[in-house]
Structure 1
């Protein structure tokens, strides 16, 4: 599969943009090279990143990145109408400009200065550094001698009761859990991964998750990675998966929601966001997560020492796993899984069957929040519901139709979770238990049953409390789960109690 494409040549009758920006981890530009022949300062070479454009538009080079970020010339064309929602609009500054170089001299220079467009998280970090604001020093990912409670927790990382929230606090949000797992499996040495490149890749992954998202953030990515590790240790998988499968599964888990904007696919479609157009309204977010991962892998050169064919296969297989987390394709994967189990024809000695099981494992890891102990599951439920409600608030503010489950006035955490568990989580984990009937699978089903009953009890208490002042509330609350049921199979319910 071709991942990189050439950007269009700038029209000869227009000046080269004075500031060419590219999202770090997504796009890189070089003004001194060309795929068509000798270097030409009016050409921009092949991009190395996550999102590809091949436009025949000769009016301007105009690329819109996530958050309505733009690459533009200061003259020569009128700004495009803003169709992305204001919530996603982010203004970026030009960083790393050449000192002592005026704009006129920069535009006339034969060799253009390359500028980088940082992701929102890294932009904020760089801005603080430029303003002299000290940064919190994270626990070093390269240190194997982790101290205190963090080390104790890593020793129990295979425990299903692992508290990812506590681990995040102890490690200052540093993504050393994935690094620890890769080291534990011996994958760093086996695949001859450069430690510095690996560290840089994981730090960039950490930074590209939006920390202001209540749910789709780096903590969710770490939680999915820890769950994936638990599944990889299940006997059927542990005895069958290759080292390549394990490496693929861990990287897919930690990057499966990379650069998630905190809103769902229907929101992007109805606000005419560029991502929806780019991916033709199909698996929009999942495609973006995948291409973002490809960008980081190529920028860091993590697999550059491998033969090109192997590197491309890795990128393709990562995409296959990440795209499987699309909740709108839940029934498709679940039906296929049931057929395999009914016919008892899963053969994990076949690469294709192993890859399918990895897809199902990642899907389970992504929506395993209802299967955690109540103290953890409740936190995830509140986080994902708050992210839904924030989207609904934005839709109300801008006179848009409020998406299902996103109206805080008609939905509660309880009815959303009961509907999700009944129509999405329970069918999936029931089939997973058929495939891997172990103590872990039974534990997950047990927790989900208890959590569902607890939410049901809380719903009844709320209904009785509000019944005195609002007689119709009880009926509305009782119908909440039914409303959720009809919406559960759509993209409105993200993976992991949320859409991926």
Structure 2
């Protein structure tokens, strides 16, 4: 009853903002086609030979994204994870959890891999130095499922929104499966890391005292799905190879639109919100899309300028639903690129992984005789150069404004780590060459990079 009243109140307060915020309209006449396309992106196309409505003759279009980095793949994983899902469902069906869960009993979905060490780590999931790589090993590669389920339960969202446990677990398993484990960077561990960072931001005083349960639900779901089915190549690559996704989304926020629509497809396929009125379900999908689309790095200046204006005018009012949603967008943007703000041991690993993904794209471009994208040539770029430039011209401006908004111990810690990490990369650069990297050279390189057309920006 409480959840129902909450949704009714939510509809009254936010209906007007929904109509303005939706970037893509949902015409009832094309619901079926839209849904088939979403599922076709991942399943239908691979299982029954789904063909996009337009193909070019470029040979890359006949390469499955999931084979790009095949040397990293473990082909035994899908079968093992399917077995884990079925075991969990049998457990749920045979337990009293499905007949109603008393409030005082915690919702722990355990299996043989959910060890005491992982449980101990979850007790400190709000710490900024949380080691997601260790947690992923302790959960046998299921960090995204375990972490997201724990946080949804931690905030009381499973009970408040009356989420069916089998549907929720199935949804999380499918989300994790739709991340490409062969991607060095854009994989389920990255999604788990972003979700953990989002949790840290949700605990900040400015947000904790203002956000509603609906806001928190959206923030966690958006973090978990924000890079869903990422192909391991960026938007410029999809555009110049005339990929059908670039055509479908008209070369605009191609990957972000695909992540959003893939997430919506899984929500509908599992029926996670099917118990809600259709209008409420649609609002969840639209707001989820608004958050995911905000992670488009080519719109960085747009969001940063709006954020600065709000802070300069001191007119952010978190009682206002649209302002809360905007802060959620900024929080997700920070969580998405927070790697330079982590402790060096973690930040360095992420830096190496994202750079390797860039370089692998460059290798593919060379193989197919395409122009190599900026920062993707392993012969002319280094991890240090890329990271120093990224911190100076992308991360630092964003986190400086976030600190103006929420000047807390966490914000100062993030800025401190970023400064130390930047200095560490500079030291490594100087050790590797007798001529120290000139700041002016880095500035010219990154300024030119950021001033190119939006499609030429890296989808980080």
What TM-score do you get using the length of structure 1 for normalisation?
0.74
Q: Distance in 1 between matches of 2:183 and 2:282?
A: 31
Give distance in 1, aligned partners of 2:60 and 2:43.
11
Q: Which has the larger radius of gyration?
A: 1
Name the structure 2 match of 1:219. Answer: 189
Question: Is residue 2:105 matched to residue 1:173?
Answer: no
| C-alpha deviation, 1:487, in angstroms | 1.4
The equivalent residue for 2:162 is 192
Check 1:491–1:456 CA distance in 2 against 1; reply closer, same or farther (3 A cut).
Answer: farther
Partner of 2:327: 357
Asked whether the equivalents of residues 260 and 285 of structure 1 are also in contact (C-alpha less than 8 Å), the reply is yes
1:379 matched residue in structure 2: 349
> Residue by residue, what CA displacement relative to the aligned partner does 1:40-60 show, whole Å, maximum 9, x if unpaired?
xxxxxx35737369xxxxxxx
Which residue does the alignment assign to 1:143? 110
**2:129 aligned partner:** 161
Structure 1 residues 90 and 162: CA distance shift in structure 2, 3 A: closer
SS at match of 1:151: helix
Instruction: Give the drift of 1:397.
Output: 1.0
The aligned counterpart of 1:2 is 26
- Distance (Å, rounded) in 2 between the aligned partners of 1:73 and 1:297: 21
Is 1:333 aligned to residue 300 of structure 2? Answer: no
CA contact (8 A) 2:362 2:372 kept: yes
User: In the alignment, what sits opposite 1:112?
Assistant: none
Alpha-carbon offset, residue 451 of structure 1: 0.4
Deviation at 1:217, TM superposition (A): 0.1
- How many residues align? The count is 405
Q: 1:81 to 1:428 in 2, by over 3 A?
A: closer
- Change over 3 Å in CA distance of 1:90–1:460 after alignment to 2: closer
Deviations 1:22-73 (A, max 9, x none): xxxxxxxxxxxxxxxxxxxxxxxx35737369xxxxxxxxx77699859559
How far apart are the structure 1 equivalents of 2:392 and 2:383?
14
Name which of 166, 171, 176 aligns with 1:206.
176
Matched-pair contact (CA < 8 Å) for 2:66–2:182: no
The Cα of 1:427 is off from its aligned counterpart by 0.3
The change in CA–CA distance for 1:373 and 1:444 in structure 2 (over 3 A counts) is same
For residues 240-276 of structure 1, the C-alpha deviation after alignment (integer angstroms, 9 at most, x for no partner) is 0000000000000000000000000000000000000
Aligned-partner Cα distance in 1 for 2:192–2:420: 24
Q: 1:448 aligns with which of 410, 418, 421?
A: 418
What secondary structure does 1:393 align onto? helix
Structure 2 match to 1:461: 431
Unaligned runs of 5+ in 1: 8-45, 54-62, 93-120, 468-473
Distance change >3 Å, CA 195–CA 258, structure 1 → 2 = same
What CA distance in whole angstroms lies between the structure 1 residues aligned with 2:245 and 2:324? 31
1:38 aligns with: none
- 1:85 and 2:60 correspond: yes
Could you tell me whether the CA contact under 8 Å between 1:255 and 1:289 is conserved in 2?
Answer: yes
Pair 188,88 (structure 1): closer, same or farther in 2 beyond 3 Å: same
Q: Report the secondary structure of 1:85's partner residue.
A: helix
Q: How does 1:105-120 map to 2 (within 5 A)?
A: none
Equivalent position of 2:273 in the other structure: 303
User: Contact conserved, 2:65 with 2:232, CA < 8 A, in 1?
Assistant: no
CA–CA distance in 1 between the matches of 2:228 and 2:66? 20
How far the C-alpha of 1:485 sits from its partner, in A, is 3.6
Equivalent-residue separation in structure 2 for 1:266 and 1:134 (angstroms): 33
TM-aligned CA deviation for residue 123 of structure 1: 12
Local SS of the residue matching 1:316: helix
Task: Tell whether the 8 Å contact from 2:42 to 2:178 is kept in structure 1 after alignment.
Answer: no
Q: Deviations over 1:132-164 (max 9, x none)?
A: x99885996722995321011000000000000
The residue number in structure 2 matching 1:262 is 232
Superposition map of 1:370-409 within 5 A:
370-409=340-379
1:483 alignment counterpart: 445
Give the match for residue 31 of structure 1: none
Matched, 1:324 2:310: no
Question: 1:237 and 2:212 equivalent?
Answer: no
Q: CA deviation at 1:461?
A: 1.3
Distance in 2 of aligned mates of 1:90 and 1:257: 14
Partner SS state of residue 51, structure 1: helix
- Provide the alpha-carbon RMSD of the alignment: 3.2
Q: Which residue of 1 aligns with 2:37?
A: 51
CA distance in 1, matches of 2:218, 2:344: 30
Relative to 1, partners in 2 of residues 1:68 and 1:84: Cα closer, same or farther, differing over 3 Å? farther
Q: TM-score, normalised by structure 2?
A: 0.81
Counterpart CA distance in 2 for 1:185 and 1:455 is 38
The Cα shift of 1:360 comes to 0.3
Paired with 2:43 and 2:232, the residues of 1 have a C-alpha distance of 12
d(CA) in 2 for partners of 1:122, 1:409 = 25
Say whether the 8 Å CA contact 2:191–2:223 is kept in structure 1.
yes
Question: Compared with structure 1, are the counterparts of its residues 205 and 72 closer, same or farther at alpha carbon in structure 2 (3 Å cutoff)?
Answer: closer
Aligned residues of 2:211 and 2:324 also touching (Cα < 8 A): yes
Alpha-carbon deviations, 1:277-311, whole Å to 9, x = none?
00000000000000000000000000000011100
1:438-461, Cα deviation, whole Å (9 max, x unpaired): 000000000000000111111111
